[in-house]
Chain A
Amino acid sequence: MMGSRFQITKLGAWLITSLTVLIALAWVFPLYWGVISSLKPEDEVVRPYIELWPQTLTFDHYYSALTKSLIGLWYINSLATAVGVTVITIFSSMLCGYAISQLNFPGRRYLHILILACFMVPTQTLIINHFVLMANMHLLNTWLGMILPQLIYPVIIIIYKQFFDGVPKEFREAALMDNASEWRIFYRVYMPMNWGITTALAIVVFIWTWNNFLWPFLAATQNETMTVPVGITQVYNAFGVYYARRLAAAVLAALPVVLLYLFFQRQVTQAITLSAGIKG
C-alpha cells in the first residue's frame, strides 16, 4: 500500500502493532482495575502497593451490595425505564420515519424541518420544565415519569426515514398493483425489511437509556425509585467508605450493558455509526 521509497520493515510494522495492542490494554486498565478491586477483601484493597490479581478472591462485596442496598429494586426500575423508552421510541420513530419517507400528506415538509430542528435544542435546558410538568401530572417517582422526558431521540426518526428512502420504489408500485392497502404495504412489505436495523437501534436505545443520568437523577427523589446508575452514586450511607463494595455496585450497574455490547457488537457499532449521520 505504501511507497517503496520509505518501505517500512516488517519489524517497524510489528512494533506499531504491538504498541497499538499495548495502548488498547492500557485503555481498558481502569475498567479492569475497578473490577479487580471489587474482588479483593477490604483490607487488601487499601494496601499501599499494586496487586494486579487479588491474593484472596472474594465475592463478599457483591453479596453485600445486593443485600445491603436497594440495588435489586433499582435494577427493576432501570429495566422498566429502559424497556419502556426503547419500545416507545422505536415504535413511534419507525411510524413517523415511514410517513415522512413514503407518504404524501399536507405539512410533510414542515414535519421534517421540525424533526431536524429538534437536533439543535439542548434537552438539558428543559430539565426544570420537565420536572414541573411531571410534578403537575403526579408522575415523579413513577416509571412513566422516568420514561416520558427520555423519549426525545430525533436521530432515530431520521435513521428510519433514510432507511425507507433507500428502499426501491418498485416495491411500493408492485404492491399498489396488487391492490394492497397502505397499511398492508407498510406491515407486509416495509416492516419485514427493517428487522436488522430495528434490532440494532433498539439495543443502542436500551444502552443509552440504561446509562442516562441527568433525568433519572432528578426524577427519583426517593431511594426506592432510583435507577441503578443513579442509586450507586447517591446512597453513600449504605456503603460508607467501603471502596470495594462501591466498586462491586459499579460493576453490577455496568454489567447488563457491557454484556449487551459484547453479545451484539456488530449491531451496536452499526447503530452508533448510523446515529452519527454516516450510512453504515
Chain B
Amino acid sequence: MIGKAFTSYWFPVLLIVPFLAIYGLIFIYPTISMFVLSFTDAPLIGSGNFVGLSNYARLFHDPRLLVALWNTAYFVILSVIPGAAVALLIALAVQRLSGRLQAAVLALFFLPFIVPVSVVYLIWDWILNYQFGIAMHWLDALGIPRVPVFKTVTWFMPAVALITIWWTCGFSLLVFLAGLRAIPAEIYEAAALDNASRWTTFRRITWPLLWPVTALVLTIQLILQLKIFDQVYLFSTGGRPNDTIVMVQYIFQMAFVDDHGGRAAAVAVTLFLIVIVVTLVEFQLLRLAGGGQKK
C-alpha cells in the first residue's frame, strides 16, 4: 500500500510534465517575454534598453497601424459572415442528399480545405493571372476589361476574402452538418403534420435550433480571421503590400524586415489584447443573442 500512495502522488505529475514543459517553454515564456520586449528598443536578435511606453507612443502615431487595423477589420467583415452563410447554404443542400452521392458531394466541397495555403495561392494566382489566367478569358468573353486583381488595392481584399471562403468553407460546412444532424427528426415530422411550409420550417425550427452551432462557427471564424496572415502575405508579394497590410503582417514586417524587435512586440501586444477583448465580448454577445433566439 505504501507503493500505491507513492504512485498516486507521482503518477499525475508524470502525466502532466510533458504538457507543462512544452507549454512553459513555447507558450507561457514567449507570452511574458513578448510583453517585456515591447518595453525595450531591442532589435530582432540582441538586447536593448528599457524605453518605457515609447514603443506604444510611436506605434499609435504610425499611419501603418491604422492601415493594418482597417485592412484586418475589412477582411473580417468580408469573410466571417459571408463565409458562414455560404457554408450554411451548402450544408442545407448537402443534407438533402443521401448515401454515396452525399459523401461524394461533401468530399468535393471539403477538398480545398485540405490543401496547403501556398497551393491555394499558386492555383488562384494562376487562375487570375493577368495575361494567361482562365478567369481573364471569361472576363474577355463577357466584355469586361481585365484587372490585375492582386495589384489593385480595391480588388485585393475582396478577392482574397472570396478565395479564403472557397478554401476554408469545408470546415464550417462539417460543423453545420453535424449541427443539422443533431436536430431530432420528430420535430420536422410534427412541423409536416402542421402543414408548415419549407421557409417556415427553416425559420421556426432549423434556424433557432441551429443557432448555437452558427454562433460557434462565427466565433471560430472571427478569431481565426483576426489573425489572418498567410493568404494576404502570399498574394501581396509582387502587389502593393504597404496598402494591403494586415496586423500579423505588420508584426512580421516590423520584426523581420525592419529589424525592430521591441516595436514589433508592441504591435504584437496590441493585437494580442484586441483578440482577447474581441473573444470575450463576442462570447457575451452571442450568449445574449442566443438567449433572445429561444423566445
Enumerate B16-35 residues with CB–CB distance to A below 8 Å: 16, 18-19, 22-23, 25-27, 29-31, 33-34
Enumerate A1-52 residues with CB–CB distance to B below 8 Å: 1-6, 8, 13, 16-17, 19-21, 23-25, 27-28, 30-31, 33-34, 37, 45-46, 48-50
Residue of B nearest to A252 (CB): B119
Given A213-B117, A261-B114, A276-B171, A27-B109 contact (CB < 8 Å): yes
Check if A61 is an interface residue, CB within 8 A of chain B.
no
Q: How far is the CA of A132 from the CA of B185 in the complex (A)?
A: 55
Residue of A nearest to B89 (CB): A23
A272-B171 in contact (CB<8A): yes
A135 contacts across to B, CB distance below 8 A: 45
Closest Cβ of chain A to B226, distance in Å, is 7
A247 contacts across to B, CB distance below 8 A: 122-123, 126
B119-A33 in contact (CB<8A): no
Residue of B nearest to A13 (CB): B96
Enumerate A131-165 residues with CB–CB distance to B below 8 Å: 131-133, 135, 148-149, 151-152, 157
Residue of A nearest to B261 (CB): A128
Q: How far is the CA of A91 from the CA of B19 in the complex (A)?
A: 9
Q: How far is the CA of A182 from the CA of B171 in the complex (A)?
A: 38
A214-B108 in contact (CB<8A): no
Interface residues on B, range: 35 or more
A177 contacts across to B, CB distance below 8 A: none
Residue of B nearest to A121 (CB): B31
Closest Cβ of chain A to B217, distance in Å, is 8
Check if B276 is an interface residue, CB within 8 A of chain A.
yes
A256-280 CB mask vs B (1 if < 8 Å, else 0) is 0110011001001100110011101
Enumerate A57-71 residues with CB–CB distance to B below 8 Å: none
B272 contacts across to A, CB distance below 8 A: 121-122, 125
B7 contacts across to A, CB distance below 8 A: 181-183
B37 contacts across to A, CB distance below 8 A: 128-129, 132
B256-A129 in contact (CB<8A): no
A20-B171 in contact (CB<8A): no
B185 contacts across to A, CB distance below 8 A: 1
A96-B115 in contact (CB<8A): no
Q: How far is the CA of A278 from the CA of B178 in the complex (A)?
A: 8
The tally of CB-CB contacts under 8 A between chains A and B is 286
Closest Cβ of chain A to B114, distance in Å, is 5
B174-A20 in contact (CB<8A): no
| Secondary structure class of chain A's binding surface, majority of residues | helix
A3-B118 in contact (CB<8A): no
| Secondary structure class of chain B's binding surface, majority of residues | helix
Check if B74 is an interface residue, CB within 8 A of chain A.
no
Residue of A nearest to B140 (CB): A48
A46 contacts across to B, CB distance below 8 A: 131-132
**A93 contacts which of B19, B29, B237 (Cβ < 8 Å)?**
B19
B93 contacts across to A, CB distance below 8 A: 16, 19-20, 23
B39-70 CB mask vs A (1 if < 8 Å, else 0) is 00000110000000000000000000000000
- The segment from B76-84, B152-160, B247-255, B285-293 that touches chain A is B247-255
Enumerate B262-284 residues with CB–CB distance to A below 8 Å: 264-265, 268-269, 271-272, 275-276, 279-280
Given A3-B195, A5-B197, A33-B123, A152-B268 contact (CB < 8 Å): no
Q: How far is the CA of A272 from the CA of B113 in the complex (A)?
A: 11
User: Could you list 14 further interchain pairs (A-B, Cβ under 8 angstroms) beyond the known A20-B105, A148-B26, A253-B119?
Assistant: A96-B15, A100-B16, A105-B9, A114-B23, A121-B276, A126-B26, A130-B26, A132-B44, A183-B7, A214-B230, A228-B116, A265-B103, A276-B171, A278-B179
Selected A-B contacts with CB under 8 Å, 22 pairs: A1-B185, A2-B198, A13-B96, A37-B126, A45-B132, A48-B137, A100-B16, A103-B11, A118-B27, A121-B27, A126-B34, A127-B252, A129-B33, A151-B22, A151-B26, A182-B11, A211-B114, A247-B122, A253-B119, A268-B114, A272-B171, A273-B178
